[in-house]
Amino acid sequence: MLPPEMSVDDAVDRAIRLATDGQRAVLGIAGAPGAGKSTLARRIVAGVDAALGAGAAVQVPMDGFHLANTALDALGRHDRKGAIDTFDGDGYVALVRRLVAGDEAVVWAPDFDRRVDEPVAGSIAVPQRTRLVVSEGNYLLDDSGPWAALADLFTETWFCAVEDTVRVDRLVGRHMRHGRDHEAARTWAVEVDGVNAVRVAPTVIRASRTVRT
């Protein structure tokens, strides 16, 4: 059975409620590549900040835990960047534990710079006063290795639902904006991102809710 579905507006309203429940909430947004996770996360942060004040919510992407390109070259995995084994899963889980604990004056999280296609350490500040942390990524509902621990850490985990044709078109556009020609962009979207999407799709059953994006 699929989790109940929300609209984006309903998702923002629910996020505001999570942020006002008293203790810090850490929300995970999962979904396949191109499903709209980052866009939804930004909408939620903007909505929570508008309702509760600037800095009430902070976005912390799982993509900050991409392995560096030099590491992927050494592992022979650069041509499959984005697969689950091309991330530092243990590092990400450790960060989520710190964000949930909320007992540090500030936690510095990495970001991912698409312009250079590399993670950037220490880019995102999460002060102790932050009420909602929104973290998005492909594998937040995966039940293997370190990722399985996330189920007990997140306050809720939402899954972005979108038609595959829309998702692939978004990916092609993204890859073209970052330097690939149309043929190379579509090949990567279908043959690399597509494999990852197949892994992610069944994890929807472990989500708290789905959001149509």
Across the beta sheet with 5-6, the strand order is 5-6, 209-212, 156-161, 25-30, 132-137, 57-59
Q: What is the pLDDT of residue 21?
A: 87
Residues 6+ apart with CB under 8 A from 18: 25, 27, 132, 155, 156
DSSP the chain: -PPPEE-HHHHHHHHHHHHTSSS-EEEEEE-STTSSHHHHHHHHHHHHHHHH-TTSEEE--GGGGBPPHHHHHHHT-GGGTTSGGGB-HHHHHHHHHHHHH--SSEEEEEEEETTTTEEEEEEEEEETT--EEEEEETTTT--SGGGGGGGGT-SEEEEEE--HHHHHHHHHHHHHHTT--HHHHHHHHHHTHHHHHHHHGGGGGG-SEEEE-
| C-alpha–C-alpha distance, residues 59 and 199, integer Å | 24
The pLDDT tens digits for 169-184 are 999 999 999 889 999 9
Output the six-digit token pair for 197: 């999407």
The pLDDT tens digits for 59-112 are 999 999 999 999 999 999 999 999 999 999 999 999 999 999 999 999 999 999
DSSP 9-61: HHHHHHHHHHHTSSS-EEEEEE-STTSSHHHHHHHHHHHHHHHH-TTSEEE--
The pLDDT tens digits for 21-60 are 889 999 999 999 999 999 999 999 999 999 999 999 999 9
CA nearest 192: which of 103, 78, 106, 72?
Answer: 78
Residue carrying the six token digits 């189920």: 151
Q: What is the pLDDT of residue 83?
A: 96
Query: Is residue 1 pLDDT above 80, yes or no?
Result: no
